[in-house]
Amino acid sequence: MAVAVREIEEQLLIRTGKELVRLVIIGSVDDGKSTLLGRLLYEAGGLYDDQIAQVRRATRNGDPIDFSLFTDGLKAEREQGITIDVAYRYFETDRRKFIVADTPGHAQYTRNMATGASTADAAIILLDARLGVLPQTRRHAAIAGLLGIRRLAVAVNKMDLVGFDEGVFRRHQRELERFAAPLGFAQLSFIPVSARLGDNVAEASARTPWHRGGTVLGFLESVETAREDAQGPLRFPVQTVLRPHLDYRGLAGQIASGTVSVGDEVVVLPSGTKTSVRAIDSFEGPLAQAFAPMSVVLRLAHEVDVSRGDLIAHAGAAPVPRSSLEGIVVWLSERPLDPRRVYLLKHTTRTVPVRAVAVKSRLDPETLGRHPAESLALNEIGNVMVQCGRPIIPDAYARNRATGAFILIDALTNETAAAGTVGELAAAADNAETGAPRIVAVEDVASAHEVERFLSGEGALAAIVRTAAAAKACAAAGIVAVLVRRPGDQALPDDAMAVDLRNAAWREALRSADRA
């Protein structure tokens, strides 16, 4: 008894400090995904007594337990005998709590897989040892790679049906390694498995003495997680502004990356206003420092204009607001990409209208070949150029998954039409390309709106400001400041260009400005 009590105490202690790991498990129908997952849950003690009893009842007398029954889901799919959607499973070991996105393999596959892969630290891909590397296996590996998964285990399943033959295993391994080379995985482990009999799932199999690469559970226990980087540059997307009373104005959000300390010099984007962090608040009290992925409240030193969708970054390491970006999208909607439809782009906590999405090429995930394309249909993947009506503040997905991801929403149907990842970003701001001046001075608010509309139409980022200081801050952040001059304001900032809308040629003047 005393021993048992101590063991429980230890387990409780361990449990407070577990690491959260997200996985996606991918396989075509009948590769044995449900069986493998059921066995993992079983071996890791993730199943309850009554669940086991229920499955034993459902298994025919004399048969080994049908592990696939543990991950059985919705009624509709039970009736059809197929899995139709992403399901999430949970289990834990002594060190880790796992969230497994279980994604099925059939027509809607790419969409489901992309969903599961978007948050995963690592992936397990199954293949049937008898069938080897199929087109869909290549597809799975490619999508995992595109969605930023760097660590992959390939479970070559049903090894019992090929006599645990090393030659078969190595052939599949070589073939997939060759295909995956350009995808740049940091880890690509191959494991010969029999999900049904348990070989190399939790324990090393005596039937594969030639295999030294560990078990599936071993991979899960040791795989490095793809954490948001607390060491990286600070990215704090503002979710909402808290104003309990007049003297308190707190910016609530979850730190996407980096660390923030009281006193840090920060910049509010896209306005470019500089200030510093006055306080970091939490329910427990003020903090001196906070880091990703904490959800906190920041208070700034100055009464600056900040709202939902703005991003706080360190002054010296701020990203550039952009209204156009290149990226890869997976089309999720039954309605193909249609230039006549209106889309919204949601990036961090910011939703902006999309002016245009142009397909540059379609990617064939089975060959990694690129093909010319005009549109994208459900489950297709393409390189696109997106023009936004208002700027977003992205990082490249390869550098930051939280600030490099976006979704496209069909403004009419509200459905999530596509998921996208931001490609490498050119160092220069958009405005350098459009050739617009950095500060435009106008006489009144109506003119300011007119000018701002025009500049946005030209693909530039523009913001209306009222002081020379704000105008300079914008300009420094790569945004065209449309400065409304108050009567009596004589001095214009040096680089400002005064525009009078009564002059019919004002558009041309703006267009040709700075090009000289």
Partner 1 sequence: MSHPIEMQEISHLRRLEAESIHIIREVAAEFARPVMLYSIGKDSQAMVHLARKAFHPAPLPFPLLHIDTTWKFRDMYAFRDRFVAEHGLRLIVHRNQRALDEGINPFDHTSQKYTFALKTQALLQALEQGGFDAAFGGARRDEEKSRAKERVFSFRDRNGQWDPRNQRPELWNLYNGRIDKGESIRVFPLSNWSELDVWQYVQLERIPVVPLYFAAERPVVEREGNLIVVDDGRYRLRAGEVVRPRRVRFRTLGCYPLSGAMESDAVSVRDLLAEMLRSRHSERQGRVIDHDEEGSMETKKREGYF
Region from 75-83, 264-272, 360-368, 450-458 binding partner 1, contact rule CB under 8 A:
75-83
Q: Which of 310, 289, 251 is nearest to 463 (CA)?
A: 310
Task: Tell me which of 124, 142, 168, 195 binds ligand GDP, using CB under 6 A.
Answer: 195
- 194 vs 421 by CB, closer to partner 1: 421
Q: Which stretch binds ligand GDP (CB under 6 A): 29-37, 405-413, 426-434, 479-487?
A: 29-37
Q: At what angle do helices 109-118 and 135-146 cross, to 10 degrees?
A: 40
Tokens of 450: 């007119």
Q: Least distance (Å) from ligand GDP to the CB of residue 35?
A: 3
**Which of the choices ligand GDP, partner 1, none does residue 308 contact, using the CB cut-off of 5 to 8 A by kind?**
partner 1
Between 135-146 and 166-180, two packed helices, what is the crossing angle to 10 degrees? Answer: 50
Distance CA(226)–CA(366), nearest Å, equals: 25
Choose one: 30-38, 294-302, 304-312, 429-437; the region binding ligand GDP (CB under 6 A).
30-38
- Which of the residues 270 through 309 are near partner 1 (CB under 8 A)? 281-291, 293-295, 297, 308
89 sits in which H/E element: strand 87-92
Which residue is it, tokens 């009464």? 303
Complex with ligand GDP: residue 109 or 291, whichever CB lies closer: 109
Q: For residues 411 and 445, which CB has a smaller minimum distance to partner 1 in the complex?
A: 411
160 binds, among partner 1, ligand GDP, none (CB under 5 to 8 A by kind): ligand GDP
DSSP letter string, 14-32: HHHTPEEEEEEEE--TTSS
Radius of gyration of the chain (CA): 27
Residue of the chain from 24, 26, 32, 208 that contacts ligand GDP (CB under 6 A): 32
Q: Is 443 exposed, middle or buried (CB count within 10 Å of its CB: 0-12, 13-18, 19+)? A: middle
> How many residues are recorded in the chain?
516
Which stretches of 119-249 are DSSP H helices? 135-146, 166-180, 216-222
Distance of closest approach, residue 346 Cβ to ligand GDP, in angstroms = 33
53-82: contacts with ligand GDP (CB under 6 A): 68
Beta bridge partners of 89: 100
**What is the nearest approach in angstroms of partner 1 to the Cβ of residue 477?**
24
Residues from 125 through 184 that contact ligand GDP (CB under 6 A): 157-158, 160-161
Residues 93-112 that bind partner 1 (CB under 8 A): 96-97, 99, 102, 111-112
Q: Residue 285 binds which one of partner 1, ligand GDP, none, with CB within 5 to 8 A depending on kind?
A: partner 1
Number of residues that bind ligand GDP (CB under 6 A): 16
Q: Is 11 in the site for partner 1 (CB under 8 A)?
A: yes
Cα 85 to chain center, whole Å? 19
Residues 235-270 as b or e (16 or more Cβ within 10 Å = b): bbbbbeeeeeeeeebbbbbbbbbbbbebebebbbbb
Question: Using CB under 6 A, which of 22, 23, 26, 31 touches ligand GDP?
Answer: 31
- SS3 assignment, position 122: strand
Q: Nearest distance from residue 236's CB to partner 1, in Å?
A: 12
Closest C-alpha to 23, from 101, 111, 115: 101
Q: Given the rule CB under 6 A, which residues bind ligand GDP?
A: 27, 29-35, 68, 157-158, 160-161, 194-196
